[in-house]
Amino acid sequence: MDTHVLAAPGTTAPERARSLQGLIDANGPEIDRRRELTSQVLDALFDQDMMRLLLPRGLGGQEIHLVAFCKTTEALAWADASTAWFVNQSNVSLATSAAAMAPEAVAAIVGGPRTGLAWGAKHGNSKAIRVEGGYRLTGTWSFGSGSRHTTWIGAHSNVQNPDGTPHMRYGRPDDRTFLFLKEKARVTDDWHVLGLRGTGSDTYSVADLFVPDEHAPARDAQEERRENGPLYAIMSNLLYATGFCGVALGVGRRMLETYTQLARGKHNRAAVSPMAGNQAIQREIGLLEARLSAARAFVHEAADQVYEAASKGTLDVDQRLRLRLATTHAMNEAAEVAVTCYRGAGTTAIMDSAPFERRFRDAMSVSQHLQGMSAHIEMVGRHIIGCDNVVQWV
C-alpha cells in the first residue's frame, strides 16, 4: 500500500504537519519500540517537505516564519514527540549551517526534500586541529538526535593550532561545526532512555578525520553569515528553543485533550460522582487549558516580535531574552500540564494500551532538555533587575 502523503500546493507548513497527524499517530507505538522513525513516517515527512522548513529559499528551502515553525513542531508532537523532535533538530541544524556556507558546499548535503542533518551536543573534550585546507577532527559526541535517518552528521568543536594552542579567528577562539558523511563515523547504539525513544539519539565518534574548510562553518558568527533573512540573524539557540518549545506544547496539548476525553466518561471508584460532574476536576481542566494556552500565546508573541525585529535589523538583547523566557516558561508549563493530566487519569494512565503512558514519558524527557532549564529564567530575572549577569543561550 502506498503510504506517501504528497504535499498539497499552496499549503502552509502547519497545515501539512496536521495532515500527517493520523499517520504519525498510528505509527507512534512502533516508533517508540524501534527507537527510530518508521519508513512510512520518514517518507511522509519528505513528501511533505518537512526537512527544509528553515533552509534559505535561495538554497531550495522554504524559510518560513518562526511562529509557523513553532506551530509545525507543535502539530507534529501532538501525534508523536520523537518525530517532531527530529524535524526541529534537523531543520535548525541544516539551516544555520547552510547560512554560513557556500552554495556549492550546501548542495553536497541538500539532495532535494529527502535530506536532513543531525549532530550531538557540544562539549569541551573534542579536538579539531587546523591544517592546510581544513581540519583534523577527533572526538565522541552524544545525543545525535535523528542520526539514523540522515546521510550527513556534524560535530561541534573548538579549534587548535598544530602546537596545541587555541586557534583564534575574529579576535576570539575559533568555534566551528564540522559536517561529514555519517559513514565516516563509528556509531554506538546506546539510546536506551525513558522517553523520546524514537529520536534514536546515538553516540558517534571520529578519529583524525579530515574535514575541508567548506564543510566547517562557524554557524552563529556574523562574520561568516551569507544569508540576510531574519531566521539567520536570530541564530541557532533561539531557533532550537522555539522548535523544542513547540514539541513540549504539542505533547501537553495531547495529554490535556486525552485527559478531558477521559473525564467525560470515567467514574473513579473512590469518588462519589463521575469525573465529569466533579467540580474539582472541572476547575482543574479549566485551569490547565488556561495555563497551556497562555504559555503558547506568550511564545507566539515573543517569537513574532523577535522575527519582526530581525527583519528590520533592530533585534536587541531585550527581545532575545523575552523569547528565551517565553520558550523556557512554556516548556515547563507544558510539562506541569502533562504531569497533572497523568496523575488525574489514575490507573488508566499507566497502561501501555492507553494514550497516556508513552506521551507522559516523552513530556518528561522534553522537560529535561537544556532549553527548559530554570537557569535561563534566572538569567532573565537578573537582566530585568539589573544584576551582574552573563547573557547566554540567546
Residues 144-157: pLDDT tens digits? 999 999 999 999 99
Which residue is listed with cell 561529514?
180
Same-domain pairing of 378 and 240: yes
- pLDDT tens digits along 179-197: 999 999 999 999 999 999 9
Q: What is the 3-state secondary structure (H, E, C) of 118-175?
A: EECCCCCCCEEEEECCEEEEEEEEEEECCHHHCCEEEEEEEEECCCCCECEECCEECE
Backbone phi, psi, residue 157, to 5° = -160, 150
pLDDT, position 112: 77
Average pLDDT over residues 97-109: 95
Q: Is residue 392 part of a domain?
A: no
Same-domain pairing of 99 and 201: no
Same-domain pairing of 142 and 169: yes
Q: Is residue 391 part of a domain?
A: no
C-alpha 300, offset from chain centre: 16
Give, in order, the Cα–Cα distances in Å from 94 to each of 107, 119, 183, 258, 379: 12, 10, 18, 34, 28
Q: Is residue 148 part of a domain?
A: yes
Contact between 353 and 313 under an 8 Å Cβ cutoff? The reply is: no
Q: Is residue 252 part of a domain?
A: yes
Same-domain pairing of 37 and 161: no
Same-domain pairing of 369 and 248: yes
Domain boundary among 75, 107, 139: 107
CATH number assigned to the domain comprising residue 199: 2.40.110.10
Average pLDDT over residues 55-80: 97
Same-domain pairing of 81 and 174: no
CATH number assigned to the domain comprising residue 253: 1.20.140.10
Distance CA 50, CA 24 (A): 13
Contact between 69 and 13 under an 8 Å Cβ cutoff? The reply is: yes
Range of the domain at 325: 235-385
Distance CA 326, CA 102 (A): 34
Distance CA 332, CA 299 (A): 12
Domain boundary among 107, 142, 171: 107
Give, in order, the Cα–Cα distances in Å from 345 to each of 254, 281, 342: 13, 11, 5
CATH number assigned to the domain comprising residue 55: 1.10.540.10
The DSSP string of 310-366 is HHHT---HHHHHHHHHHHHHHHHHHHHHHHHHHHHTGGGGG-TTSSSHHHHHHHHHH
Give, in order, the Cα–Cα distances in Å from 84 to each of 50, 285, 304: 10, 25, 21
Contact between 191 and 34 under an 8 Å Cβ cutoff? The reply is: no
Domain boundary among 68, 83, 107: 107
Average pLDDT over residues 211-238: 96
Give, in order, the Cα–Cα distances in Å from 373 to each of 218, 298, 325, 339, 385: 25, 18, 10, 17, 20
- Encode 293-319: b = buried (16+ Cβ within 10 Å), e = exposed: eebbebbbebbebbbebbeeeebeeeb
Question: Is the model more confident about 278 or about 8?
Answer: 278
Same-domain pairing of 366 and 243: yes
pTM of the predicted model, to two decimals? Answer: 0.95
Pairing state of beta strands 152-160 and 175-181?
Answer: antiparallel
pLDDT, position 1: 33
Same-domain pairing of 283 and 197: no
Q: Give the range among 70-74, 101-105, 276-280 with minimum mean pLDDT.
A: 276-280
pLDDT, position 269: 66
Closest CA to 48 of 74, 18, 89: 18
Same-domain pairing of 60 and 131: no
Contact between 128 and 215 under an 8 Å Cβ cutoff? The reply is: no
Same-domain pairing of 255 and 185: no
Q: Given a cut of 60, is residue 382 above it in pLDDT?
A: yes
Q: Helix 236-263 vs helix 81-98: angle between axes, to the nearest 10 degrees?
A: 160
Distance CA 336, CA 315 (A): 31
- pLDDT tens digits along 27-53: 999 999 999 999 999 999 999 999 999
Same-domain pairing of 182 and 311: no
Q: Is residue 1 part of a domain?
A: no
Question: Is the model more confident about 112 or about 205?
Answer: 205
Q: Is residue 226 part of a domain?
A: no
Same-domain pairing of 179 and 264: no
- pLDDT tens digits along 328-366: 999 999 999 999 999 999 999 999 988 899 999 999 999
pLDDT, position 124: 85
Angle 156-57-109 from CA coordinates, rounded to 5°: 40
Backbone phi, psi, residue 7, to 5° = -65, 135
Average pLDDT over residues 352-381: 95
Pairing state of beta strands 172-173 and 168-169?
Answer: antiparallel
The DSSP string of 175-203 is EEEEEEEGGGSEEE-----SS-GGG--EE
Q: Is residue 264 part of a domain?
A: yes
Tally of domains in the chain: 3
Q: Is residue 254 part of a domain?
A: yes
